[in-house]
Chains A and B, each alone.
Chain A
Amino acid sequence: ILNVEQSPQSLHVQEGDSTNFTCSFPSSNFYALHWYRWETAKSPEALFVMTLNGDEKKKGRISATLNTKEGYSYLYIKGSQPEDSATYLCAPFTGGGNKLTFGTGTQLKVEL
């Protein structure tokens, strides 16, 4: 069973704050890492797919970095807004089929 850990489990920030969360995964047999955002009552939305060590991806105010040698990825949100409130899930792909193995997520709440 693949061990994927996300921290913190939950986070409350004020509007305008910048924040970041961590996804840790086994570094062996690594192929790709997927990040998703899941807002309540909506479908999980794909944010990034990352494959290369040192990779950095950006989408608006959200960015992510990847370290495949030590097995972690950081997700950053700059200037958090209430619409960023969601659960952020990471899922490494380590072969052995096409399934994603998700972490338990970081639940972000951005308050006015």
Chain B
Amino acid sequence: GAGVSQTPSNKVTEKGKYVELRCDPISGHTALYWYRQSLGQGPEFLIYFQGTGAADDSGLPNDRFFAVRPEGSVSTLKIQRTERGDSAVYLCASSDGTSGSTDTQYFGPGTRLTVL
């Protein structure tokens, strides 16, 4: 079956611009996660959705970052007034949300964001 897909695969923008990154999870998965991987680091948690609601947004670095999942499927990560430090690979993952700590999170290929 289809895995997690993310668009665009690459995004180059200028400092101060607004960007939207899209994630299509595996069909039927109720849980959706966003992570960010900066150079030399492991993926870092940003936000977790269960259904339409953000169950944990403790990883969002500041109020320039916002994510939505209005119909409990596709999610969009929105970044306002981008800064050079936002350059990273943004990963989305989904899981069936039934097994808690042992839920396997299935990842998309990521969106590489470059802020010039």
Nearest Cβ distance between residue A10 and chain B, in whole angstroms? 11
Give every chain A residue within 8 A of B44 (Cβ-Cβ): 102
Instruction: Report the minimal beta-carbon distance from B107 to chain A, rounded to whole angstroms.
Output: 4
Is B80 in contact with chain A by the CB < 8 A criterion?
A: no
Q: Is B14 an interface residue (CB 8 A)?
A: no
**How far, in whole Å, are A33 and B33 apart by their CA atoms in the complex?**
17
Hey, what's the 0/1 contact readout for A32-46 against B, CB within 8 Å counting as 1? Answer: 101010000111111
A100 engages B107 (CB within 8 Å) = no
Could you tell me the distance between the alpha carbons of A32 and B101 in the complex, rounded to whole angstroms?
6
Specify which chain A residues have a CB less than 8 angstroms from the CB of B59 in the assembled complex. Answer: 99
Contact in complex: A102, B48 (CB < 8 Å): no
Interface membership of A97, Cβ < 8 A = yes
Q: Does A81 contact B (CB under 8 A)?
A: no
Residues of A within 8 A of B103 (CB): 98
Q: Is the interface of A mostly helix, strand, loop or mixed?
A: loop
- How distant is A33 from chain B, measured CB to nearest CB, in Å? 9
Q: Are A102 and B42 in contact (CB under 8 A)?
A: yes
| A20 contacts chain B at the CB level, 8 A cutoff | no
Q: How large is the interface on A (under 10, 10 to 19, 20 to 34, 35 or more residues)?
A: 20 to 34
Contact code string A51-90 (vs B, CB < 8 Å = 1, else 0): 1000000000000000000000000000000000000010
Interchain CA distance A44-B31 in the complex, whole Å:
17
Are the CB atoms of A31 and B101 closer together than 8 Å?
yes
Contact B102 A49 (CB under 8 A): yes
In Å, the complex CA distance between A44 and B50 comes to 21
The 4 closest A-B pairs by CB, nearest first: A102-B42, A31-B101, A99-B45, A32-B101
- Tell me the A residues contacting B by CB distance below 8 Å: 4, 6, 31-32, 34, 36, 41-46, 49, 51, 89, 91, 93, 95, 97-105
Extra contacts besides A43-B108, A46-B106, A98-B48 (5): CB < 8 Å: A41-B109, A42-B109, A43-B110, A89-B43, A105-B42
